[in-house]
Amino acid sequence: MTTVLVAEDDADICALIVFKLRKSGYEVLAVQDGRSALASIRETMPDLVLLDIMMPGMSGLDVCRALRADPDTAGLRIVFLTARAQESDVRKGMEAGADDYIVKPFSPRELISRVSTALEKTVT
Amino acid sequence: MSRHPALDTAPAASAGERPARTPQSAPERPGSGTRPRRGPASLARLLRLTFGLLITLVLISVCIALIQGFRSSAAVERLTGQILPLQVANSQLLTIQGDAQRGLRNHLNFGQPGFQPLYVQAKAQLPGQMREVERHAADAQEVALARELRTRMETWLGYAEQVDSLTPGTPEAFRSSTRALEHYNQFWITSRKLQAHVTIEAKNHQRANDRQRVLSLVSLIGVASVAGVMALAVSLSTYRALAGPLRGMRETLARLTAGEHEARVAPKGPAELHDVGLAINQLADESDRLRDAERERSRMRQVAHETGARIRRSLDVSTVMEEAVRAVAEVLRARQVSLHLIHDDRVGAADVQWRDGELRRNVTSWPSMGAELIAQAYEQHATYNMRTSEIPRGGAAPPSVQHAFEEMPDSALLAVPFGSGADALGALLLLRPWHEGSWSPSEVGAAEVVAADLGYGLHHARLFQQERRLVDELRALDTTKTDFLSTVSHELRSPLTNIVGYLELLRDEEAGRISRHQDQMLNAVERNAVRLQLLIEDLLTLSRIESGAFRSSLQPLDVRDPIDTALSTIQPLADAQGVELETRCSDEALHVRGDPHQLERAVTNLLSNAIKFSPGGGHATLSTRAEENWIEVAVSDTGMGIPEQDQHMMFTRFFRASNAIADAIPGTGLGLSIVRSIVANHAGEMDIRSVEGEGTTVAMRFPRSAPGSEQPNDKGQAVP
């Protein structure tokens, strides 16, 4: 079963994503901040990580860079969730090594579609 | 500083106006005004002397001529009046005597009757003729000879009268005749002597006369020659005396006229020309002095002008003050220049001071005093040019300032107030040791010009500083506002994500079935969520436009893709408003270089407007058109339209058409302004055509790009 880790500090959004992903047949792990995300990812090695950029403590960008720097996690699929749709934010995300980004507010259906697209890339 | 107008000019002018030049001026003008005691000879005197001599010579010539004339006429007189008549008279006497002798002899010897009358007649004439001879006898010898002749004649006559009665032809008569002849011979001898004497006399006279004529002729020629030679010599020497110096003067004047200012006449020649030469030199010297003064004045003017330009160029208060102080110090040979600004109606520490080549700020060594003096001086345009040791005690300056002046070495002080408009801003204080000279009028003028520019420059710099502060504050405020807008917009996105996300879950019946009633309610929620989302997007975009971060990342794309996304976003709104949404899109790809998100925003905004401003329902059409170089995307509606007077304002931020406000249609007035920014970012154009009550068409045109340059879209959104 495909495992997706969701790192999102907004509990309601987190619950929404977890609900929709599980409904769509994914196994979902959820954390509320960057450090927990990093620890949890290294422990469970999920197939895809949904990273909110603005998180307390360690930002999604830092988590992404740390993952890409570590050979064990360098190949992970990473998709950002961001409230900032500006080019500079997007560029920073892509430079940090993200596979895709989803701008808030998003449609849950679109989220699932993006996630599955990203995962398909992994398979191929 | 003391108010003492009498000191402003008088002492400065008398004691300090170029003291260094005074000793030089004496040798520069030798013999000016008074004649030199022993100079060159005067030409006039020489000429007077020469002409005097010439006239004397002429007079001598005339005298010689006159004397000669007199002598000649005297000689002629003697010759014609005495000698010649004597000669004639003597000859006639001899003839008459001869006749008498012959008459007597013939009578005695031959008794010829004819001779008696001859004898009688001649005898009768003899005394008269004798008197004639005596009358013409002049000198002693002639008189003596005449007397002898008379004796001889009377002897003959006496004898003749004794014998004329003798009977002719008798022996006694013959003897008597012989004796008479002897008497006659005596007479004849004397007459001949007289004749010979007179002849010699005549010759002598003639010879003497000739000699004198020659002598006087020679004298005249001699005098005339002397006069001629003298005249020639004088002419030559006069010419030589005049020509050389005059040529020198002419050449010097020509050189001076040609701008060779150091040319001078070498004074020589007669005293008059010598004086003229000196006068020319004096004029040239004076002209040099004037030129020097003018050059100095013009240098000062130039410096003041340049300084003014430098001062005015700067808009920084410190720089303005430093420039002014440094310029004044460097140009005016000041030992110390300080600039005192008026702070809170007082003047004290120098805000900037230049001393010994160093600029310092806030030099507190100067006592503080009220600013009224400076204000008063500024108002009266008064500049104080004085000697510190001559500042009167008990003047207007406070004792502390008076004391400070007394403490310093004797100096030339120049105090120039400056200000802006009617307000005095401060004063420039210039000092230099008194022995280096007081401040000349041109220096004072230059300092005044710099002070005027300083006032002007300071005023402007202060205004500029205030403006800049204001601008900085406003800019900070604006940044805060933009940041706030951005933060708020971002913070609004998270709750909106929840609303939109959970709404979709409910509508998808992920949480169980929805009744029709519930569905209508959820529609309302969705509509407002979309509205809120658009509003937030507008605000966010505005904050990015204002912060300068609104840039497009252009990529090759098919413009139909963002259009489709926008249509799907806006569809619920159209449905709710009862607006029929029609799309007339090209079947072929429409290639442009664009930012997909921004193009989607632009189309969404236009569609949103079309629906919003068709309150009673209606028709909205989105159409695309491909031209040779352009791709046009237009949105038309059959809504309320825009009043004509509002149309030119439609791209202004926060501007809303008057009819929209009147109908209380919600909105921010940002939509079109954002669309315009997007179109501008794509090097495109847009326009609005609208008729109030009939509808509006907004068209955007983007540069068409070459087909085939399109790359696969990341989002992979398919065209339905």
Written as one string, the DSSP assignment of B286-340 is HHHHHHHHHHHHHHHHHHHHHHHHHHHH---HHHHHHHHHHHHHHHTT-SEEEEE
Q: Which of B505, B540, B597 sits opposite A19 (nearest CB)?
A: B505
Distance CA B573, CA B553 (A): 29
B242/A14: higher pLDDT: A14
Residue A48's pLDDT is 94
Distance from CA of A92 to the nearest CA of B (A): 14
Chain A residues in contact with B488 (beta carbon < 8 A):
none
Say if the Cβ atoms of B493 and A107 lie within 8 Å. Answer: no
Could you tell me the pLDDT band of residue B39, with boundaries at 50, 70 and 90? low
Residue A112's pLDDT is 94
B499 in contact with A, Cβ within 8 Å: yes
Closest residue in chain B to residue A111, using alpha carbons only: B501
Cα A15 from chain centre: 14
Of the given ranges (B10-24, B383-397, B700-714), which has the lowest mean pLDDT?
A: B10-24
Closest residue in chain B to residue A83, using alpha carbons only: B490
Residue A88's pLDDT is 66
- In the predicted model, residues of chain A with pLDDT beneath 70 are 85-88, 122-124
- B488-544: per-residue pLDDT in tens? 777 888 889 999 999 999 988 888 999 999 998 998 898 888 888 878 888 878 877
Q: What percent of chain B has pLDDT over 90?
A: 21
Q: Quick check: B710 pLDDT over 50? A: no
Say if the Cβ atoms of B497 and A104 lie within 8 Å. Answer: yes
- Mean pLDDT for B44-52 is 83
Residue A3's pLDDT is 94
Say if the Cβ atoms of A13 and B597 lie within 8 Å. Answer: no
B-contacting residues of A 56-85, CB under 8 Å? Answer: 83-85
Residue B211's pLDDT is 86
ipTM value for the complex = 0.88
Mutation choice for A interface testing from B497, B503, B509, B599 by most A CBs within 10 A: B497
Chain A residues in contact with B549 (beta carbon < 8 A):
86, 88
A112 in contact with B, Cβ within 8 Å: no
Could you tell me the pLDDT band of residue B708, with boundaries at 50, 70 and 90? low
Q: Quick check: B709 pLDDT over 60? A: no
Distance CA B59, CA B64 (A): 9
Distance CA B168, CA B114 (A): 13
Distance from CA of A77 to the nearest CA of B (A): 16
A107 in contact with B, Cβ within 8 Å: yes
Q: Quick check: B34 pLDDT over 70? A: no
By the 10 Å C-beta count (0-12 exposed, 13-18 middle, 19+ buried), B511 is classed as: exposed
- B427-467: per-residue pLDDT in tens? 999 999 999 888 988 888 888 888 888 888 888 888 988 99
Residue A122's pLDDT is 56
Q: Quick check: B342 pLDDT over 70? A: yes
Distances (CA, A) of B126 to B98, B131, B162: 10, 9, 17
Chain B residues in contact with A13 (beta carbon < 8 A):
494, 497-498, 501
Q: Which residues partner with B699 through β-bridges?
A: B634, B687
Most confident range (mean pLDDT) of A37-41, A90-94, B25-29, B359-363 is A37-41
Q: Which of A23, A105, A117 sits opposite B533 (nearest CB)?
A: A105
- Mean pLDDT for B342-368 is 85
Q: How many beta-carbon contacts under 8 Å exist across A and B? A: 58
Most confident range (mean pLDDT) of B172-181, B252-261, B267-276, B677-686 is B677-686
Q: Quick check: B10 pLDDT over 70? A: no
Q: Which of B505, B544, B551 sits opposite A108 (nearest CB)?
A: B505
Mutation choice for B interface testing from A6, A22, A32, A86 by most B CBs within 10 A: A86
Beta strands in chain A (DSSP E): 3-7, 27-31, 48-52, 77-82, 100-103
Residue A87's pLDDT is 59
Of the given ranges (A74-88, A94-108, B404-418, B587-601), which has the lowest mean pLDDT?
A: A74-88
Q: Quick check: B33 pLDDT over 50? A: no
Mutation choice for B interface testing from A12, A21, A23 by most B CBs within 10 A: A12
Residue A66's pLDDT is 92
- B260-273: per-residue pLDDT in tens? 888 888 888 788 88
Distance from CA of A104 to the nearest CA of B (A): 6
In the sheet that holds B630-637, the strands lie side by side as B579-584, B618-626, B630-637, B695-703, B685-691
Say if the Cβ atoms of A85 and B510 lie within 8 Å. Answer: no
SS (H, E, C) B174-238: HHHHHHHHHHHHHHHHHHHHHHHHHHHHHHHHHHHHHHHHHHHHHHHHHHHHHHHHHHHHHHHHH
Say if the Cβ atoms of B510 and A13 lie within 8 Å. Answer: no
A10 in contact with B, Cβ within 8 Å: yes
A-contacting residues of B 548-577, CB under 8 Å? Answer: 549, 551, 553
Q: Quick check: B201 pLDDT over 90? A: no
Q: Quick check: B116 pLDDT over 80? A: no
- Mean pLDDT for B390-413 is 81
Chain B residues in contact with A83 (beta carbon < 8 A):
490, 493-494, 497
Q: Which of A86, A104, A117 sits opposite B493 (nearest CB)?
A: A104
